Each structure stands twice: as C-alpha cells, then as structure tokens.
Amino acid sequence: MISVPKVLEQQLRTVDPLRGKVLSLDYAVHAHGVCHDELTPEQQDLSAIYLGTAKALFDGEASMTALADASAAHAKIRISGSRLAEEIMWVGVLAVSVCWQRELVREGLSRGELKNVTVKTVAAEAQNVVRLFSGEQEATWQLIHLLETADRVDPQVLVNLLDEVSAEQAEFLAVEYAKHALERHPDARYFQAVLDDPGRLPLAVVARQAQHMVGGSEATWQLIKLVASAPVTETRRTAATEQQ
C-alpha cells in the first residue's frame, strides 16, 4: 500500500533550496488555514502578518526589519492561547527560519538560530498539527501541492507507484484514467472498453495508453489522481524540533 507521507518525504529530498523555502511557507500557511479556528483572533492576525511578510521578502516588497518586528510580535502572542495553537504557530516559525533565519542573524536582527530545519521539518510538523486538530492527513495536500507547482515531475515516480496500488484502487484509477482520456477523445474505443471491464488490463498499460493519446502533462494528472485516492495511512510525529 502506498504511504503518501513517505512519497512526500522522498520528493522533498529532491527540491532545490529556493523551492524548499517557498514550499515551507506554503505548508505553514495551509496548516494555519486548516487549523484557523484553534487560534485566537489576535493570533490569526499576527500569524498572517508574519507569514505574509516572509513571503513578501521574496518579491522585494518587505524588509528584514519588518520581518524582525513581525517575528517579535508573533513570539509574544504565540503562548497566549491553547497548547495546540502554540504548536500551529510554531510551524510558522519553522517555515520562516527555513527561508530567512541566516539573513536575520547576519543583519543582527535575530539572536538565535534553529539547527537542521528544512522543508521536511516544516512538512512533518504541519502534518502533526493538522492531525491533532482535524484528524486529516495533511501529507496528501502537501504532496499534491508539490506536484501541481513543480516545473517537471519525474515520470518514474508514477511508474513506481502504479506497482504499489491495491487491486481495488487499480480498478478505480483505471476508470478515472479512461474517463479523462475520453473527455479529450470521446470516440476512443480502447478506453470505452476499459470502462466496461476496468480490471482486465494492467493499470500501467491503461496509464501509458492515456498518456500517449492525451499527451502533455497527463502523467502528472494521473499521479495527482493516484495520490488523492490513496488510502490514508497512520503517521507518527517526528522528534520535536528544539524550540527557541
């Protein structure tokens, strides 16, 4: 059975440093959105300012001083709510650290530096707070977001995962892949036959035929559909990152 968190971790190992920073902020923002109701109104506002300032720096629309000020305000309010709220906001601290902590320290705007914090750290902690808040598997959204925003996805990822799906999921995906191909080519008898008997042909064969007929980014679409339909697996929290 496919483990989405494991696939995500494998893919995060391959991202370049800049993309890792962007994904870190995206993961923190999404986790805050999912867990929005756990935060007080003031925590919501200051978190939005903090993460928004960190993101604006990439476009040259904010300054390190503004980020340091937002960080100080964020730190003061972080412990004013529930323990879970503090952990949610800590995901934001980790994300900003991945992006800008070296610059903040270099400019004398931060006294300390978190060690060994990467986009994988942010992803894991975001998964944990979302699981505690809603029981949902955040890794699924994180992996789909990574795939949707990637310039290129290695086609071998799909090839490998197609071999791991269960028989039940394989039939479901065969139908989905055939339907998607028929949307582009309504007269394709091959895919109509797949709908009539979705378990007759190996899923990998159906996927390749659809890619050949549809072209473009069909393989990426198929991979995203596979991830979205993967059964949820239980995940364990990684060792907590040392807090400031």
pLDDT one-digit tens code per residue, 38-86: 999 999 999 999 999 999 999 999 999 999 999 999 999 998 889 999 9
Quick one: which of 232, 213, 42, 24 has its CA closest to 137? Answer: 232
Confidence band (pLDDT; 50, 70, 90) for 241? very low
Is pLDDT of 168 > 60?
A: yes
pLDDT one-digit tens code per residue, 184-225: 999 999 999 999 999 999 999 999 999 999 998 999 999 999
Token pair in block for residue 153:
């996805």
Interhelix angle 119-134/4-12, rounded to 10 degrees, is 160
State how far the Cα of 199 lies from the Cα of 167, in Å rounded to an integer.
8
State how far the Cα of 86 lies from the Cα of 24, in Å rounded to an integer.
18
Quick one: which of 144, 110, 150, 179 has its CA closest to 15? Answer: 150
